Amino acid sequence: MMIRNPELLRNIWLEMTPHRLMSMPLLLGAYFFLLFVMGDYQFNHADAMQALSISALLTLVWGAHMTAESVLSEVRDNTWDAQRMSAMPAWRLVWGKLLGSSLFSWYGASICFLLFIAVNDFDAMHAVKMMLLYLMAGLLAQATSMLLALLYIRKKISLQRSHTLFFTLISAFTAWQFIAVSGKGAGTLNWFGYTFFTLEFTLISLMAWLIWTWVGCHQLMRSELQTPNKIWMWFAFVLWCIIYLTGFVPLSEVVAVLPYIALSVSMLMTYSMLFSESKDPVAMGNLLRVLMKKDWSQLQLVMPCWLMSMLLMVPAGLVLVLLGKPSAYVSIAPLGQALDYVSPMLVWTAILFVFRDICFVLWLNLSSQLKRPDLAAMLYLTISYTLLPLILSALNMDVVRMVLLPGKDAGAVGLVIAVAEVLLFFWLMRSRWQKHYARNGAEYGK
């Protein structure tokens, strides 16, 4: 039962002190009374919306801050290892931190919700939907904040309090986008041919993304507790992202546009997890050992998420090449982009550039001199994809630019250059691995 969760009970005792329980209603009551007096001793629609805005401030900002702190403070205080060694299951630990650390923010938000219920001038059903919107947005912000914190501690980098603020702002901004979209009016949108009101679709989307964020927190917590995760959950999430975005495409263009979305999502997920997951030699050695033994049952436990995403790019690119040109320019509503014909050479060149970048990042991570190889890799790749191509274009050195950035007019030359770069960085990565790790038996798990 949830009440038997020791992590939840600990956070409740820490957060819900008598002083706090009295101060929150007094502060909110004083502010709402001021609004009541300034409104000629009556509440209006603006006051009801202010109550919702304050609830969002409490849950999206304060609540997200506390959920991130519930993880990061444990690491800073050197108590995280003790929690990891406890017998508490990952799911209980996640819920204990999510609900317990943010409970006081929900205490204040509940007061705001009560005022909104009492003074709003919406019809009953719309008022309930508005409350659900702000409720789930708060839950999403808090879950996202914990997800980012759990991702960050995997990097084993020294933590600062500024990291908590950074995670809070990202989480609050992400969750607020759902509220902002739903507040643009009582419009409609189409998803796989079905018409939804914007508010209703936002609620459905919020629930779906919230569930996936909870699943992500659970998977990461399992990893922290040294419990292996099967790769299929990540595979299902990538498929969900592809399906979700494809739903905004007109039905007549779904077949033509789906490979574009699949390739784009796979690339994005590959890069995001490449920089998020651990790439230490032990994990890489285990992966190589399993591959060499062809132990497929064990592979699903040791395969990194970036590798699964990378493998999805190949069939997506193959289907994209086989289908050829879409029947028309297609607008994808959430992305605001138009898709046109992409040559097969460009597709495979782009995929090879991803392979090159993976080898480059792994090569840097195998270095014993770099303290933050992922940060260095991000810096180098950002420069190679933005600043240097602009300089080379200004100098009319388009052939040299192909080494750094695939272009529409690259053709076979660009493909050959990409293959050469992949082989070069793969050789560099393999040489560094054999020099520093393979001789110690890490490659074969000895």
159 in a structural domain: yes
Same domain, 35 and 145: yes
Last residue of a domain, one of 183, 201, 227: 227
Q: What average pLDDT does the segment 180-202 reach?
A: 84
Yes or no: say if 364 and 376 are a contact pair by the CB < 8 Å rule: yes
Residue 102 and residue 69: Cα distance in Å, rounded?
10
pLDDT recorded at residue 442? 45
Same domain, 101 and 52: yes
Local structure of 187: helix, strand or coil: coil
Q: What average pLDDT does the segment 50-54 reach?
A: 93
Last residue of a domain, one of 293, 317, 342: 342
pLDDT recorded at residue 76? 83
pLDDT recorded at residue 327? 42
The model's confidence at residue 444, banded by pLDDT at 50, 70 and 90, is very low
Write the pLDDT tens digit of every residue in 241-272.
999 999 998 888 888 888 889 999 999 999 99
Q: What average pLDDT does the segment 198-213 reach?
A: 94
How far, in Å, are 32, 55, 113, 179, 337 from residue 58 at the CA level?
15, 5, 12, 15, 35
The whole-chain average pLDDT of the chain stands at 86
Half-sphere exposure at residue 402, Cβ-oriented, CA atoms within 13 angstroms: 18
CA angle 207, 210, 212 (to 5 degrees): 115
pLDDT recorded at residue 136? 96
Strand partners of residue 339: 330
Residue 142 and residue 217: Cα distance in Å, rounded?
11
- Residue with the larger pLDDT of the pair 393 and 169: 169
Q: What average pLDDT does the segment 325-354 reach?
A: 62
Q: What average pLDDT does the segment 214-237 reach?
A: 92
Q: For the chain, how big is the Rg over CA atoms in Å?
A: 25
445 in a structural domain: no
The model's confidence at residue 440, banded by pLDDT at 50, 70 and 90, is low
Same domain, 222 and 353: no
Q: How many domains does the chain have?
A: 3
Q: What average pLDDT does the segment 202-216 reach?
A: 96
98 in a structural domain: yes
Same domain, 69 and 28: yes
From the list 213, 221, 220, the residue with the least C-alpha distance to 241 is 213
Yes or no: say if 35 and 48 are a contact pair by the CB < 8 Å rule: no
How far, in Å, are 238, 297, 301, 350 from residue 233 at the CA level?
9, 15, 11, 26
Tokens of 86: 């406890």
446 in a structural domain: no
The model's confidence at residue 30, banded by pLDDT at 50, 70 and 90, is very high
Last residue of a domain, one of 281, 315, 342: 342
Same domain, 108 and 88: yes
Q: What average pLDDT does the segment 377-401 reach?
A: 86
From the list 45, 62, 128, 131, the residue with the least C-alpha distance to 101 is 62
Q: SS in 3 state form for 195-225?
A: EEEHHHHHHHHHHHHHHHHHHHHHHHHHHHC
198 in a structural domain: yes
356 in a structural domain: yes
From the list 116, 92, 81, the residue with the least C-alpha distance to 11 is 92
Write the pLDDT tens digit of every residue in 87-124.
788 899 999 999 999 999 999 999 999 999 998 888 88
Yes or no: say if 214 and 94 are a contact pair by the CB < 8 Å rule: yes
Residue 353 and residue 341: Cα distance in Å, rounded?
20
From the list 123, 127, 64, 130, the residue with the least C-alpha distance to 97 is 64
14 in a structural domain: yes
pLDDT recorded at residue 81? 79
Same domain, 215 and 199: yes
> 330 pLDDT exceeds 50?
no
- Give the sign of the dihedral formed by CA 257, CA 261, CA 262, CA 263: positive
Residue 264 and residue 274: Cα distance in Å, rounded?
15
Local structure of 169: helix, strand or coil: helix
Yes or no: say if 404 and 385 are a contact pair by the CB < 8 Å rule: yes
> 4 pLDDT exceeds 80?
no
DSSP 327-342: SS-EEETTTTEEE---
Residue 340 and residue 325: Cα distance in Å, rounded?
7
Residue 44 and residue 35: Cα distance in Å, rounded?
9
Q: What average pLDDT does the segment 191-214 reach?
A: 93
Residue 60 and residue 138: Cα distance in Å, rounded?
5
pLDDT recorded at residue 328? 41
> 336 pLDDT exceeds 70?
no
H/E stretch holding 189 reads strand 188-191
Same domain, 200 and 235: no
The model's confidence at residue 334, banded by pLDDT at 50, 70 and 90, is very low
Report percent pLDDT > 90 for the chain: 46
> 333 pLDDT exceeds 70?
no
H/E stretch holding 365 reads helix 344-365
From the list 141, 147, 213, 151, the residue with the least C-alpha distance to 176 is 141
Same domain, 202 and 235: no
pLDDT recorded at residue 244? 96
pLDDT recorded at residue 337? 43
DSSP letter for 441, please: T
Output the pTM of the full model.
Answer: 0.88
> 174 pLDDT exceeds 90?
yes
Q: What average pLDDT does the segment 434-443 reach?
A: 62
Same domain, 23 and 79: yes
- Chain position carrying tokens 């933050």: 372
5 in a structural domain: yes
Same domain, 295 and 356: no
Q: What distance lies between CA 70 and its chain's CA centroid?
A: 19
- Which of 207-211, 369-373, 394-398 has the largest mean confidence? 207-211
Yes or no: say if 339 and 329 are a contact pair by the CB < 8 Å rule: yes
Same domain, 162 and 92: yes
Residues 6+ apart with CB under 8 A from 9: 3, 96, 100
Report percent pLDDT > 70 for the chain: 90
Contacts of the segment 152-159: beta carbons below 8 A, 24+ positions apart: 152/72, 153/71, 153/72, 153/75, 153/80, 153/224, 154/220, 154/223, 154/224, 154/276, 154/277, 154/278, 155/278, 155/374, 157/372, 159/72, 159/75, 159/76
Q: What average pLDDT does the segment 292-315 reach?
A: 89
Structural domain for 199, as ranges: 1-227
pLDDT recorded at residue 163? 81
Same domain, 240 and 105: no
pLDDT recorded at residue 403? 84
Residue 301 and residue 178: Cα distance in Å, rounded?
34
Length of the chain: 446
